[in-house]
Structure formats: structure tokens, C-alpha cells
Amino acid sequence: MNEATRVLVCDDEAQILRALRVILRDAGYEAVTASTGEEALDRASVKPPAAAILDLMLPDLDGVEVTRRLREWSEMPIIVLSAVGEEEAKVRALAAGADDYVTKPFGPPELVARLEAVLRRAKPEASEPVIAADGLEVDLVARVVRRDGEPVHLTPTEFELLRTLAQNRGRLMTHRSLLVEVWGVEYEDDVQVLRAHVANLRGKIEPEDGPRYIRTDPGVGYRFAG
């Protein structure tokens, strides 16, 4: 990985910040550290990083609020760090636009693998067609989504989820198949993550009293019906 790839890291524990800096350095990344939410937002705005790793529990703004504010202007991949038992906070972070979460304590290989996965999903595809369905256009080459001609801003993970569903139009995609395709095999049972992202995606592409592109098969999965 290019050493110039900058990753914003925000945690209020100095020991964890030092550890994250070493982990990222050894993996070929440059860590830009912050110990508060406001400091993280300042650093991100001055020189936007390629991705962000944010602790959920911060002394000023929590990681959910930092994620929400970053999403107002950036589509950078965001990973949140959470302690065991913070399930509700994880869901709120995903709903705010986070792409992934890692539970503390975590191993360096796991964190680096998660980071590389979200960065990979953020890269444009080499060559794919445009999928059109009832006012919705998904340009898989430019990674652009439009609804009734107006651009819809999706996070990298939301786009990957929509791409997977749209390319399998009409086919029921099980929870497991979507999780493995979009997030990786280590997520195959994490239905909570999938539901949060589907809800976010629907909120962006499905207008009130308009077409419903994503259909739910309760307890089984989803299908793109546009």
C-alpha cells in the first residue's frame, strides 16, 4: 500500500492512538491522529484523508456525531471502534454513514483487513454498464447514482450494496449472500449490519410515494425489483 495513503485516527486513549499509529505504519499507511471529535473534524477538513477510524466514545462529540458531520461533505470510508456491548451505538453509527465497525479488543491483522476492504470498495470498477430502473440510474463505471436525473450521494458501502442488488435484478439475495459479497465472509452472520445499510440506502434512493426498488423477503433477504 502506498505510504502516502493517509488515515485519520481518533481515540481519546493515548495508548490506543500510539498502537494504531504503529499498526497503520507497519501496514504502509500514514496515521493522522486526533484525541477529540472536534480535532478529528478539523484535521479532516484541512487535508481530507483517504479513510477514518473513529472511536465511538470520545470526550466531546461521540463517534456517531463525528461520522454524521463527516458525511455532510465527505464519502471517505469510515470505520468505528466500539467496546463489546455497544450494539445500539454500532447501529447508530452505521445509520449515520459509517461503513464498518471493529470491536475492542481487536488484532492488528483484523483492523488492517477491514481498512483495506473499505478502501477497496471505494475504488471505481474498471468497466461495467449503466443499470436503469424506473427513474433510477446506476452508472457502475463512474460509480454515480441518479434519481430522476439528480445525483444521489452514496457511501462506498451503500454503492456496493446497490450494485450487488441491481446486477442481480429480480433475484432474491439472501442475507448471507449479500453480506459475503459486500462485506466479506467474516460478516456472513451479521444481519444487523446489512439491515442498517439497506435502511440508509432506501432512504436515499426511494422517494416518498415513489418507486420501491428494494423489496424485502422477511427473514430471508432482499431483491432489486426496479
CATH numbers and ranges of domains, the chain = 6-122 (3.40.50.2300), 130-224 (1.10.10.10)
Q: Which three cell numbers stand for residue 220?
A: 430471508
The H-assigned helical ranges of 27-105 are: 37-46, 63-71, 87-96
SS (H, E, C) 113-132: HHHHHHHHHHCCCCCCCEEE
Beta bridge partners of 223: 215
**Tens digit of each residue's pLDDT (9 = 90 or more) over 169-209:** 888 888 988 998 899 888 888 899 999 999 999 999 998 88
Beta bridge partners of 98: none
**Tens digit of each residue's pLDDT (9 = 90 or more) over 71-117:** 999 989 999 998 866 677 878 888 888 988 888 888 999 899 889 88
Q: How far apart are CA 128 and CA 43, in angstroms?
A: 35
**Three-class secondary structure of residue 41 per DSSP:** helix
